[in-house]
Every structure is written in C-alpha cells, then in structure tokens.
Amino acid sequence: MNAFKLFSDSTLVEAIKNKNNLNEAVLHLYREHAAVARSFIMGRGGSEQDADDIFQETVISFIDTVQKEKFRFESGIRTFLISISKNLWLNELRKRQRSDNREKIFETSREQEDAGVSEAIGDRELKQQLQKMLDGLGESCRKILILFYYENLPMKEIVSHLHYENEQVVRNKKYKCLQQLTEMLKENPVAAKQINELINK
C-alpha cells in the first residue's frame, strides 16, 4: 500500500514556491490532473506521446510561473493547468497543419485564455532554444549553475557536493559557465531579438 501526500491548492503552491517536497508536489500534479489533460489532447487528435509531452510542458510552465510568483489564484490549479495544456496543444496543432480545415474546428473550441495562462506559456520557441543552449553547456557546467542559481546552495556546499578543491575553483568555474551560456545566448537570433526588443522599448 502506498501512501501519497495530499496537497490542497494552497499547500501545493507553497511547496512549489519553496521547492519543498517538490517531487511529491509534481507527482501530485500528475496523479490529479494528467488524466484530464490527456483526455482533452487525445480527444483532439493527439497521440499518447503527444499528451504526455504536452502535459510535461504544462507542468514545467506552471512550476516556473509559481516560482516566479506570477500565479495569482485567479482560477483553481486544475483550471489553470488544463488551460495551459489546451493552449499548448492548439498551438502545436496549428504548427503541424496550418492549412487543414480541422484547424477551424480547433479554433472555435479555443477558450478565452486569461492573461496568467498566456504569461505561463510565454515564448515557447525561446524556451526551447534556452533548453537547447543549457544542454549544450555540458554536464558539469549545467550542474554547477543549477546548484547555485536554482537550488540556491552556498559555494561551500557546492564544493563538497561536486568534490571541487575549494570555493575559489567553484567560483571561477561558475563564472566561466555563466559567461559561456551568455555568449551562446548572444549568438542565438531568437534570444538576441528578444533582448533587443526589451532594451529598445
């Protein structure tokens, strides 16, 4: 018999925000909401793999939104997740078959999306590019940046975690990795365009 941790909407958001029991929280999202999202996607031409991929992206967008403190409880978590999934899937379908008249059917079923949902989805192309660049950094760089900027571990702990000689070595390595990632961003047209637009606003 397995005991699963139960979350209310507010305790779930707290757990995600504080990165406390995050695995349990994500598992809860899957257990409680994946089936509904899957049924929507698979009922609209998606395969099982599509449904799983879209729900994965949904959860990532939701966590990012919560951790950036942009989730404002304007709707319940389920409604919010399903709206993200629907919009991601409709965008994906549009991309796959722009000229197909099925698109018109999907368009009519598109719901009025709230501002929070479009913010959560953000620029998907840019997110994909960011992921690609991070993957291109290599394992040790990715790890060091994640431990410092996402896990917020102090240098001392990173030294013992990754078995570096001392804090200075980690600091130098972290600086080089960040610089490498920034250089990759500057060379990426999608990222550069976004920054350019932001600066020239």
Partner 1 sequence: MLQNNEFLLVDYLDNHLSQDETTRVNTLILHDKQVATEWEFLKMAVDAVELGAIREQVMQVRQSFSNQVQPATGFSGTVVRNMYRSGLRIAAILILVLGVSLVYKYSTVNNASVFQQQFADYSLGTTRGEHTQNVLEESFRNKDWNGVTTLFNLESEKTNKTYFLAGMAAMEQKNYKTAVSRFENILAANAKTGDNYFQDEAQYYVALAYLMNNQADKGIALLNEIRGNKDHQYYVLARRISSTDLKIIALKNKK
Q: Applying CB under 8 A, which residues contact partner 1?
A: 2, 22-23, 26-27, 30-31, 34, 49, 52-54, 56-57, 59-60, 63-64, 67, 92, 124-125, 127-128, 130-135, 138-139, 142-143, 145-146, 148-151, 160-163, 175, 178-179, 181-182, 185-186, 191, 194-196, 198-199
In angstroms, give the least distance from the CB of 71 to partner 1.
Answer: 14
Q: Smallest distance, Å, CB 53 to partner 1?
A: 5
Nearer to partner 1, 75 or 194 (CB): 194
Burial of 152 (0-12, 13-18, 19+ CB in 10 A): exposed
CB of 63 closer than 8 Å to CB of 15: no
User: What are the respective helix, strand and coil percentages of the chain, to the nearest 5?
Assistant: 75, 0, 25
Residues 6+ apart with CB under 8 A from 34: 55
Kindly tell me which of 73 and 150 has the beta carbon lying closer to partner 1: 150
How far apart, in Å, do the first and last CA atoms of the chain sit?
A: 57
Query: Nearest distance from residue 116's CB to partner 1, in Å?
Result: 18
Q: Furthest-apart CA pair in the chain: how many Å?
A: 62
Q: Which CB atom, from 114 or from 184, has the smaller least distance to partner 1? A: 184
CB closer to partner 1 out of 82 and 181:
181
